[in-house]
Chains A and B, each alone.
Chain A
């Protein structure tokens, strides 16, 4: 397995010209076995974001004056992390799982907590057990707001009887369909309704000193519920038990294995690859670190160019290939590297943390390779390449693509009359569109 291929497939593209020295599997394993080395600066936690939201609402402030700075700081530090990370496999997994459990800025109230959500609910569990990540996600205010569970009320609960309000099935449905067992498990509308009832009361205490998750007994639907043939008791514990069952369900393992293989290996996951990852998940009790590393042992893991780069992948790989970034990005500096990257994500069609639907962004070629997509990439890369005033473009090309670099691309680059043109050719080559 070629290391440069692994760096692109499992990471975010080679940064600079210094390839790591280890064998590729060791390089991947070391990133998962050690602690998360990402350090985020200038950001608070979920409670800080919720306080800002509360203050804005109380004081009727227009234009998100308190949430915007929080979001800008998250963008600066997290995109700096993406550009600079020395653990690109771990970093890719973090963004993969964020996308799996998408929270989108299209729901405006998540602005102050979306960054904290990624840092608090996703990142700590990237190499841990899936069911732990699931529980952290389902209790996180960002998800409870985004998929409306904070306002779901058991119709027979004291609060429901008083207000004549009722269930909001949004989170329960998406959790079954997207996050865990998927429709392949054969659940019914009754199961969705039961799960929504199980999750009633899972909400946010906005009035606490440090606002955050709260279980509201008064909004919780009384009585035991039956979900997919299993009975769960009334109370918060019923939800925790349900999430344990869902988080370790064979159908869930099959679903997330399919998604992992789809993201890392091929747009059309081979059944034997999915089966292999399922078996690792089953044997390990849903250990995501073990499953992630098992991806690297699949037969097609090292075949170059098996996956088409989504805009985030593409823009990040271009900026890493050009060694852009380094000094921390000022949250308000429009020329900072993190903001160049943010701008690129938007221009290329994948604005940060803004997936249109709860199923997140696609990672399939067919969704990102329209004519306008390709031209947008070339035009953006051409503008980025204008800033490069040193270094041999061919060195950059070899470091970025290794043996995947094709001879026609080398020839075209050699004949380019300027560094900018040569780099634009590299970043517009078919092989650079892949990882």
Chain B
């Protein structure tokens, strides 16, 4: 992959975008143990109940029998996480990490907002505040690291077309951009083709244009967007490996932000979730491979703006919900268990009679990683997450 340094675009960060996956990086310079942090935003709302399924909960089958995978041990079944939860089989690489004590799912987490709008929720998720801000919590965390502002070259860098809100803010971040132009991914093209299908002018134009670009007919059928990422199946892996290589460079960045989409499974969820999940899984493996020995000093936090409805909807999918799962991975993670507090799935236990009830504030998870792993002073948390009193979850990372 070709990368070239650009003069700081607006003096801010940008993300390297590849289809729906993108990457942004911020360096923080070396502390004594030189920790690495990678945050992956899963844009579109991951169904936490599908990624980390509480198969031991007696009520789950009543809500979503048709979405449930077989129990662990059966063909195509879940990968067991200690007898109550099971991991989606597309996450086999993560299951290995779990076995090595390097993966820690935290269930029933939610942001501090109760919006079910992707756009609002992603803004709040990234700004880390109860309101829209112009800066993101990850940038403010980098800015709060002691002694990080002295590097003359700017200690952050980012890649691509635009700056994810999470990494915008006072800490300077340089930019990288890929050579060549970029395109939407096949799933978006197929939606666009569907949107125009009945139009006498634009319908045939989009159809023929996409065909000329080598899309198969099935991609252009509205009901059946391609699972996986079609033309660029490994975009996220490429980005992840790039991030890993940059994070290992002696004077390279120490904090990276990636994003990957495809989670908005309103229909045909059982089939459509496999693609993004296995991309995510491959991306984490690629990251681990590129980090090499530095993996032991790494925490990866994968998080999404909200969860999805507990009950299956009328089209084999799920709609926008509330609590979901957050995934921690890395050699520095105190894993091999599932964290959080399970709220239960009985009717009276659901949030607003439809969603998994939140029991852990996602910001407390991030705060725990920032303090115990990255070395952000506890006193800075209220500034990083305005509106909180600096609560954080303990015990997420290994004590050296």
Contacts and interface: CB of A to CB of B under 8 A. Distances in A.
Contact of B210 (A335, A373, A375): A375
A371 interface: yes
Contact of A418 (B43, B120, B210): B43
B17 interface: yes
Interface stretch (A280-288, A295-303, A387-395): A387-395
Interface in A389-419: 389-393, 408-409, 412, 415-419
A417 B118 contact: yes
A418 B122 contact: yes
Contacts of A416: 118, 191, 264
- Classify chain A: how many residues form its interface, as a range: 35 or more
A420 B184 CA distance: 10
Given A417-B262, A424-B192, A371 B206 contact: yes
7 contacts: A370-B205, A371-B210, A387-B162, A390-B132, A415-B264, A416-B118, A430-B199
B208 interface: yes
Closest 3 pairs between A and B when the two form their complex, measured CB to CB: A417-B44, A371-B209, A417-B264
A148 to B, nearest CB: 38
Given A379-B183, A417-B45, A429-B196, A373 B189 contact: no
Given A421-B188, A433-B202, A375 B117 contact: no
Interface string B187-226: 0110110111001011111111110110000000000000
A231 interface: no
Nearest to A370: B205
Contacts of B201: 308, 365, 369, 430, 433
B349 interface: no
Interface in A203-221: none
Nearest to A428: B192
Nearest to B182: A383
Contacts of A392: 117, 119-120
- Classify chain B: how many residues form its interface, as a range: 35 or more
B271 to A, nearest CB: 16
A420 B183 CA distance: 12
B302 interface: no
Contact of B195 (A375, A383, A419, A430): A430
B355 interface: no
A322 to B, nearest CB: 13
A375 B211 CA distance: 11
Contacts of B118: 416-419, 422
Interface of B: 9-10, 17, 20, 43-45, 117-120, 122-123, 132, 161-163, 165, 168, 181-184, 188-189, 191-192, 194-196, 199, 201-210, 212-213, 261-264, 266
Interface in A5-53: none
Contacts of B182: 379, 382-383
Q: Tell me if A's interface is mostly helix, strand, loop or mixed.
A: helix
Contacts of B212: 371-372
Given A371-B209, A378-B184, A417-B264, A429 B43 contact: no
Contacts of A433: 201-202
A369 B202 contact: yes
Contacts of B264: 415-417
Nearest to B120: A392
A270 interface: no
A386 interface: yes
Given A375-B210, A379-B183, A422 B205 contact: no
Given A379-B184, A418-B118, A412 B191 contact: yes
A293 interface: no
Given A369-B202, A389-B163, A420-B162, 10 more contacts: A374-B196, A374-B202, A382-B182, A390-B123, A392-B117, A416-B118, A418-B119, A418-B261, A422-B119, A424-B184
Contact of A417 (B10, B199, B263): B263
Nearest to B193: A428
B269 to A, nearest CB: 13
A256 interface: no
Given A365-B201, A389-B165, A424-B184, A417 B191 contact: no
Given A424-B188, A425-B192, A417 B181 contact: no
A378 B122 CA distance: 23
A418 B121 CA distance: 10
Contact of A425 (B45, B191, B213, B263): B191
